[in-house]
Structure 1
Amino acid sequence: MDRQLFKKPFTLDSGITYSCPTCGKLSLQLDKDKFHSSETSSTRKMLQEDYWEDDWRTSVYTAILVCRNTACEEHVISSGTGFISEEPVFTSDDRYTYTSSEYVCLFEAKFFQPALHFFDIPSNCPEDIKNPLLEAFSITLLSPSSAANKVRVAIEHLLTNFRIPKTTSNKQKKRVRLTLDTRITKAKDKNIVLGKLEDILYAIKWLGNAGSHSSSEITLDDVFDAYELMHHVLIELYQPKNRLNKLAKAIRKRKGPLRK
């Protein structure tokens, strides 16, 4: 996952390439013929004033990105915002030219449909864990706080899949909901792998908690941290079995060691 790809604005000539949400290949590129931008209402009003400056312009855009993998050719809709930036002009030997600059149109993506996948979810990951992660992917750039909270929801579902109780009986013999802290603590006594992942599960919980509170400012980096942690959890819990089963079948079929 290239964080900088989503943290930096792009130009129409940036040539950026994303991973296709359908085939997973690094082959999703902007179709410049299907890119459209319009200046915002505030910009159009400001242009009528004598004091306006070029770098005050703002805009919105819609675009189509196309997967260049001929076996896929998925089309993805993107939308976002634009602004003008005064950029330095460099000489042919890349030295900064202090007396020269130009205005450049920069764009920031806020939405993709189908949503881009910020990490690969193992194919045998249960749907109730996968779905909140896909929801998180769809709102990552629009609302990092909401995305972080969705990852926390995925952790709740993950613990349920491993039969970690969601409720307990209180002194009045009424069922009460267990906190996520308590469920993570119980998990280490029920599953060795979950026990080894305890610190990571707590870290995701705290990031998700921060995303739930309006007073906490969750950044894109915070969400990408949550994604990296969650990816590791899913690999440890779901991918090793898959990989080992394939390896065992290959060795059995060959009736001996594999030649690499």
Structure 2
Amino acid sequence: MTAQAMDIVFREDVALDSAPAWPCPNCGAAALALLRASFHCMETAHSLAQRRMDGWTPDCVQYRCSGLLRCGACGDVVAMGGDGGAEAEGDGVTYADFFSPRYFLPALPLTTAQFRHAVPAAVQQALQRAFAPFWSDPRACHVAMQAALQAMLDAQGARDARLAGAMDEFKRMMETQMWLPSDGAPGTGIARRSDILRGFAWLDGWLSELYPPLHAPAE
């Protein structure tokens, strides 16, 4: 999947009636669908209190949301939690609710590699650890992506000299797209979701070269 396509599928704010078909953590098919009966949103106490304030508008609303998704291909179930709000539509008068996922359990895959048997277990596990914080902590996700790349390097050893410079290439690529502190101290940089997705697309390209799929991934 290209970075541009990932920007659409893994966008931050989602309308309930137009949620994308997210990829299934179990089989990889882009077939996760929200079970509407399981989806619940409640307005926060702070948001309810704000309604009594002067100047309140519907876009001040804040929700907490949860729900379940089921894969249309394999039938597996994924839990989701997040927050939400309301935003003005094109006419500037009508408001529509949206929700913003903050976690999925299990974490949604952001590469296709974990569905290839040739990928070493250590690399698969490192990728899983990188997927989990994407929705809530892009900075932590960026750090975990570097660990996944290191796991790839360790798994290849001396068999592929091209990977020796891949870590530096990855760091340079990410640092040109987002501001990071020179000392690399966690929690002091700013990581944008779009840049993180480009990083995963880059990782997936390397993984596809190192561990070619035996057949086309499920759509």
TM-score by length of 1: 0.70
Confirm or deny that 1:102 pairs with 2:94: yes
**Contact between 2:153 and 2:164, CA under 8 Å: does it hold in 1?**
no
Larger RCO (CA within 8 A; separation ≥ 6): 2
Alignment pair present for 1:33 and 2:33: no
For 1:238, the equivalent position in structure 2 comes to: 211
Q: Does 1:53 align with 2:20?
A: no
SS at match of 1:13: helix
Q: Structure 2: how far apart are the matches of 1:57 and 1:21?
A: 32
Q: Deviations over 1:184-233 (max 9, x none)?
A: xxxxxx44x432x5554323234499475433211112211221121122
Deviation per CA, 1:115-136, whole angstroms, max 9, x where unpaired? Answer: 1101111321111121121011
Contact 1:35-1:61 within 8 A present in 2 as well:
yes
Q: Which amino acid aligns with 1:223?
A: I
Q: Distance in 2 between matches of 1:75 and 1:87?
A: 32
Aligned length: 202
State the structure with more CA Rg: 1
Does the Cα contact within 8 Å between 1:145 and 1:212 map onto a contact in 2?
no
Q: How far is the alpha carbon of 1:147 from its aligned partner?
A: 1.0
Decide whether the 8 Å contact of 1:200 with 1:229 is kept in 2: no
**1:151 Cα deviation from its structure 2 partner:** 1.4
Q: Residue 15 of structure 1: CA displacement?
A: 4.4
Paired-residue identity, %: 23
Q: Which amino acid aligns with 2:102?
A: K
Kindly report the root-mean-square deviation, in angstroms, between the aligned alpha carbons of the 2 structures: 2.4
| 2:161 maps to amino acid | L
1:79-136 CA-to-partner distances (Å, cap 9, x unmatched) read: 11101111124xxxxxxxxxx6301101111111111101111321111121121011
The 2-side partners of 1:138 and 1:213 are apart by: 17
Correspondence 1:223 to 2:215? no
Q: Find the counterpart in structure 2 of residue 139 from structure 1.
A: 133
Structure 1: gaps of 5 or more residues: 90-99, 164-189, 247-260
**TM-score, normalised on structure 2?**
0.82
Q: Distance in 1 between matches of 2:185 and 2:120?
A: 24
